[in-house]
Amino acid sequence: MGELLEFLRALLNDPFDFVDLPARQAITDAVNWVVANFRDFFRTYVSPPVRGVMNGVHGALSAIPPGMFLLGVFALGWWAASWRVGLFSLISLGLVGFMGVWDPLIITLSLVVTAVFFCVLFGLPLGILCSRSDRFNAILRPVLDIMQTTPPFVYLVPAVMLFSIGNVPGLIATIVFAMPPMIRLTNLGIRQVQSEFIEAAVAFGSTHRQILWKIQFPLALPTIMAGLNQTIMLSLSMVVIAAIIGAGGLGLEVYAGLERLNIGQAFVGGIGIVLLAMVLDRITQGLGEKAPGARHKSE
């Protein structure tokens, strides 16, 4: 009896002495196994499409003269939201150019556009599947929780091990980190469409595909656009962190300034990131407010 009490006392004082889970070694072994067996696959079949889209977007944006680019942003902001948003976008990005970081801005914007393209390409279908199947939604939910709550720096190590350093590992880490809001809010938006609309469509003989694309998707578009907005913001935050592994852009300005204790360089890069984030946020919010579902809710 005395030995049992002594054991219980020791267990209550420090239960972690009795079990030692080799989590670090297990995770290291698992990542090393993936790298050893799939690195060639990732570098052959995953890296070229991502790099190709990134180079295409960067080439297209770089080919536009800065003045024409600013006018285009002004027109886009005016069309998406209002002339005030257009003017704000023009002044904000113009200020970034006048601070001497226009080329890093274009690189950062190219990274964000590429990451968002792949997030939409994979996230939208997955969100639709989640809305159609409760079982698939239940299976995917913990995966999305892990993707969304894992600290961003954790993604960098396996990305570098699989793809080496450069833009591609930074983009892969960004896509994984920024995709969950696209999936979640697509699922939520479709599920929140009122049943009366679906019942009316069924009564008129609509197929499941027609109901999805002509009823549910347009009405869910404001929520989906909110997911796109969050995906853009997360992509922007992640490409800044990805500068550590060679992604470049404004994040590299911040990282280089931090490394050299050059506060001016770090602040200029940070201001550029903030202004770009505000411009993208205002434009995507304006697009969301123009969606058919938003007009229906306002009525």
- CATH code for the domain in which residue 282 is found: 1.10.3720.10
- Nearest alpha-carbon partner for 42 in 236, 148, 173: 173
CB-CB contact of 250 with 275 (8 Å): no
CB-CB contact of 228 with 285 (8 Å): no
Digit-coded pLDDT (tens) for 34-67 = 888 888 888 888 889 999 999 999 999 999 999 9
Q: Rounded to an integer, what distance in angstroms lies between the CA atom of residue 273 and that of residue 240?
A: 8
**Is residue 203 one of the residues assigned to a domain?**
yes
- The whole domain housing 284 covers 30-298
Contacts of 174 (CB under 8 A, 6+ apart): 111, 115, 235, 238, 239, 242
Q: Rounded to an integer, what distance in angstroms lies between the CA atom of residue 108 and that of residue 54?
A: 11
Structure tokens at 95: 């200020």
Q: Indicate whether 299 pLDDT > 70.
A: no
Q: Indicate whether 4 pLDDT > 90.
A: no
pLDDT category, 11, cuts 50, 70, 90? low
| Phi, psi (rounded to 5 degrees) for 247 | -75, -25
**Is residue 21 one of the residues assigned to a domain?**
no
**Is residue 90 one of the residues assigned to a domain?**
yes
Digit-coded pLDDT (tens) for 185-212 = 999 999 988 888 888 888 888 888 888 8
**Is residue 10 one of the residues assigned to a domain?**
no
Q: How far is CA 174 from the centre of its chain?
A: 6
Q: What is the CA radius of gyration of the chain?
A: 24
**Is residue 179 one of the residues assigned to a domain?**
yes
* Positive or negative torsion for Cα 80, 84, 85, 88: positive
**Is residue 201 one of the residues assigned to a domain?**
yes
**Is residue 207 one of the residues assigned to a domain?**
yes
**Is residue 7 one of the residues assigned to a domain?**
no
Number of domains observed in the structure of the chain: 1
Rounded to two decimals, what is the model's pTM? Answer: 0.88
Q: Rounded to an integer, what distance in angstroms lies between the CA atom of residue 116 and that of residue 114?
A: 5
> How far lies 191's CA from each of 11, 21, 105, 154, in Å?
48, 41, 38, 33
CB-CB contact of 92 with 112 (8 Å): no
